[in-house]
Amino acid sequence: MSSAPTSPHPRPGPRSRGGAGSRTAGSPGTPDTPGVTGEAATSHATPAPRVGRRAEGAWGWLFVSPMVVILGLFLVLPTLMALWVSLLHWNGQSNPFSGQAKFVGLDNYRALLTQDGLDRTLFATSLRNNVYYVLLTVPLQTVLALALALIVNQRMLRGRSVVRTAFFFPSVTSSIAVSTIFLFLFQGSGAVNTVLSWIGVKGPNWFTDSRGVLSLVLGGLGLVDPAHPSGVLVGHTFMGLSWFEWLSGPSVAMCTIILLAVWTTSGTFMLIFLAALQDIPRELEEAAAIEGVSRLQMLRHVILPALRPVLFLVLTLGLISTWQVFDQVYVMSQGAPGNTTLTPAFLSYSSAFDDADFGQGAAIAFILLALILTMTAVQRFLLRERASRPRRNR
């Protein structure tokens, strides 16, 4: 009798549940794959979403690549080139990247910030003028724009479209044209002084008056002598200017430019505030009216908190534009009288194109950029949302 053939490997018996070789079920909704355990099937299924996200990212970069190239060629690359020029003594007649221009490192920045001389004095004067310009223009244009937006947002106001157009019209007018008109209005025998003479006020020669407004007010009160200041105000200096020069306030000529800026920019910011006001739910105002809240309280506790993001936008745009003021100064005064209307933007242009010192002009531009970024960060910190901390129950 022949015996049954025996195989070299024993035949495996039925798999026990939970054993080492047991088959585990995959995730719910995922069918088991024959011959592949659940863990292996899950591991093979997870890379699919990653591939999809990578493909979407690649398509996204493909679509935005034209704009990235344009910004790189016309914004990033020129900025880096200007940064290199700020480290040179370059008159603009040669190639600044060929080694013909003299490399001076940070000397242009030292001449503007630390070294005594005419360069630092002029830069400090431009900073002083621009600081007063910002401190007066930004609050005035913001308050005026918000007031105009509240007026034209009234439901019962007739002819709202006409009023909005009238308020917005100065913003779309050429700044050069408006500056030229202001030159005629504020002449010594112009329309403004003529109107002031009707009420017995003798107007100044606006664009030739270099006296500081704050020093004139203090002089009228008998606190200081604007013509011959003395004491601590003259004995201490900062960046080449005495304290009296820093604290004398904007000149009469600069106040004219401030009035021009407020008049021409408030219309644009009015539209921004108006769009934000129309997004405030009417239910909030109606609930506040039912509670007997006054208009001032509604403005303070309902409208202004809802306008916080828009207020930050308006203040940021106003801050940036006021630190970059150039065209009005170029048309109306070019820094005169006595450099009391000189601004860093115009000084950068004058140093580069009038004095043929493009290195110093570029250095002024980058210092101005640093100032704008710093003040924007400070403003963002001050206007940030302050979340209330939860109280701990003891």
Return the pLDDT at 163: 84
Q: 123-153, pLDDT tens digit by residue?
A: 999 999 999 999 999 999 999 999 999 988 8
- Is residue 312 within 8 Å of residue 322, measured between CB atoms? no
Distance CA 352, CA 346 (A): 10
Give residue 330's pLDDT. 94
What per-residue confidence (pLDDT) applies to 178? 92
pLDDT of residue 385: 67
**What pLDDT is stored for residue 292 in this prediction?**
78
Q: Do 364 and 275 touch, CB atoms closer than 8 A?
A: no
Confidence of residue 390 (pLDDT cuts 50, 70, 90): low
pLDDT at 389: 53
pLDDT digits (tens, 9 = 90+) for 95-115: 888 878 899 999 999 999 999
For residue 387, the model assigns a pLDDT of: 56
The proportion of the chain whose per-residue pLDDT surpasses 90, expressed as a percent, equals 48
Q: How many residues does the chain have?
A: 394
Phi, psi of 69 (to 5 degrees): -65, -40
Distance from the first to the final alpha carbon of the chain: 92
> What pTM does this model have?
0.80
- Pull the structure tokens for residue 266: 């408030």
How far, in whole angstroms, is CA 249 from its chain's centroid?
24
Please tell me the predicted confidence (pLDDT) of residue 27: 46
171 pLDDT band, cuts 50/70/90, is confident
Residue 60 has pLDDT above 60, yes or no: yes
pLDDT class for 92, splitting at 50, 70, 90? confident
Confidence of residue 366 (pLDDT cuts 50, 70, 90): very high
What's residue 203's pLDDT? 87
Q: Is the pLDDT of residue 188 over 60?
A: yes
DSSP state at residue 27: S
Spell out a b/e string for 15-42, using b for 16 or more CB atoms within 10 Å of the CB, else e: eeeeeeeeeeebeeeeeeeeeebeeebe
pLDDT confidence of residue 1: 43
* Mean pLDDT score across all residues of the chain: 83
> Are 153 and 274 within 8 A, CB to CB?
yes
From CA 186, how far away is CA 188, in angstroms rounded? 6
Q: Is 25 or 67 the better-scoring residue by pLDDT?
A: 67
Can you tell me the distance from the alpha carbon of 209 to that of 212, in angstroms, rounded to the nearest whole number? Answer: 9
Give Rg (Cα) of the chain: 34
pLDDT (tens digit, 9 = 90+) per residue, 338-347? 999 999 999 9
Residue 239 pLDDT: 87
Question: Helix and strand tally (H, E) in the chain?
Answer: 19, 4
User: Residue 14: pLDDT band by 50, 70, 90 thresholds?
Assistant: very low
For position 325, what pLDDT does the model report? 93
Lowest mean pLDDT segment, chosen from 38-42, 293-297, 317-321:
38-42
Mean pLDDT lowest for which of 27-31, 53-57, 212-216? 27-31
For CA atoms 277, 278, 284, 285, the dihedral sign is positive
Per-residue pLDDT at 392 exceeds 60: no
Residue 249: burial class (beta carbons within 10 Å; 0-12, 13-18, 19+):
buried
Long-range Cβ contact pairs of 276-282 (< 8 A, separation 24 or more): 276/306, 276/307, 276/310, 277/149, 277/150, 277/153, 277/303, 277/307, 278/153, 280/306
